[in-house]
Amino acid sequence: MIRNVLGSVLALTGAAAAVLSPFRDWYDGRLGRHYRVDELFTGITAGRPGPLGSILVAFLFAALLAVVGVVLRSRLLVASAGVVVLGFTVLWMVRQGESVGSLTVAGDGSGLGWGVAGAAAGGVLLLVGAAVMSGRRGAGHRSVHERHDRPYAAPGSENPDTWPPTQEPGPSVQTSTLPEPEPELYTGPDPAERHRPVPGSGPGSGSAPDADGRPQG
């Protein structure tokens, strides 16, 4: 979570720097939005493009990729935005160097300006933000602690002697959900034995049983 927040802040900062860079000087006081996109492939000219034909459009597209990537927590989209910004910046430096012979940096405002530095810094921040972000976790992805803390699954009815998971052989102690029956506490003779007739003690036998049920005589 913290990595996603930090990476998102870096990515959005880089996207903002890239979008603002064409409004600053790029070379010899010329703004970055005064360069045409197709000039990066054909060569730098002195003409000024319209709003939809300048290098600003490429950086706006990269910023849109970065915002969508942050919303979706997609490292790929954020990294793609950084590649677009750095790619167009490096391509412009190559074409500008071919146009003037060499690129220079001077303190009087001539040569490379702060707009190029802002574009390069924005592209680097986008790549760093993509590297810092942890991205989205899939539904099947779980951390090591989550996998270890997961409780044991109860066995099915076809294998009742494996629960609890003690890995001990033998049948299970109790496979029924009902409580075990309690044994009878009375340990004396069965009361039914007292009234059971004794052979030879019936009517006409000539003798009657005593108090203990044994025949007399």
- Read off the pTM: 0.62
* In the chain, % of residues over pLDDT 70: 60
Question: Residue written as tokens 């167009």?
Answer: 88
Q: Which two tokens stand for residue 204?
A: 């006409």
Lowest-confidence segment of 7-21, 103-117, 144-158 by average pLDDT: 144-158
Distance, CA of 66 to CA of 71 (rounded, Å): 9
Confidence at residue 139, expressed as pLDDT on a 0 to 100 scale: 41
Q: b/e string for 96-129 if b means 16 or more Cβ within 10 A?
A: beeeeeeeeeeeeeebbbebbbbbbbbbbbbbbb
Distance, CA of 3 to CA of 137 (rounded, Å): 13
What is the residue-averaged pLDDT of the chain?
77
Contacts of 76 (CB under 8 A, 6+ apart): 69, 130
Alpha carbon distances (Å) from 49 to 34, 100, 144, 169, 216: 6, 20, 56, 83, 136
Distance, CA of 109 to CA of 119 (rounded, Å): 17
Q: How confident is the model at residue 175 (pLDDT cuts 50, 70, 90)?
A: low
Confidence at residue 152, expressed as pLDDT on a 0 to 100 scale: 57
pLDDT in tens, 89-128: 999 999 998 888 878 776 666 788 899 999 999 999 999 9
pLDDT in tens, 123-147: 999 999 999 998 776 544 454 445 5
| Cα–Cα nearest to 157, from 141, 176, 142 | 176
Contacts of 175 (CB under 8 A, 6+ apart): 160
The answer on pLDDT for 188 being more than 80 is no
Phi first, then psi: what are they for 12, rounded to 5°? -65, -35
User: Letter for the amino acid at 52?
Assistant: L
Phi first, then psi: what are they for 209, rounded to 5°? -70, 150
Sort strands 25-27 and 30-31 into parallel, antiparallel or unpaired. antiparallel
| Cα–Cα nearest to 85, from 64, 109, 106 | 64
Q: Which residue has the higher pLDDT, 104 or 19?
A: 19
DSSP codes joined into one string, 147-202? HHSSPPPPP-TT-GGG-S-----S--S---SSPPPPPP---S--HHHHTSPPTT-S
Across 147-158, average pLDDT? 58
pLDDT in tens, 25-70: 998 888 999 999 988 888 888 888 877 889 999 999 999 999 999 9
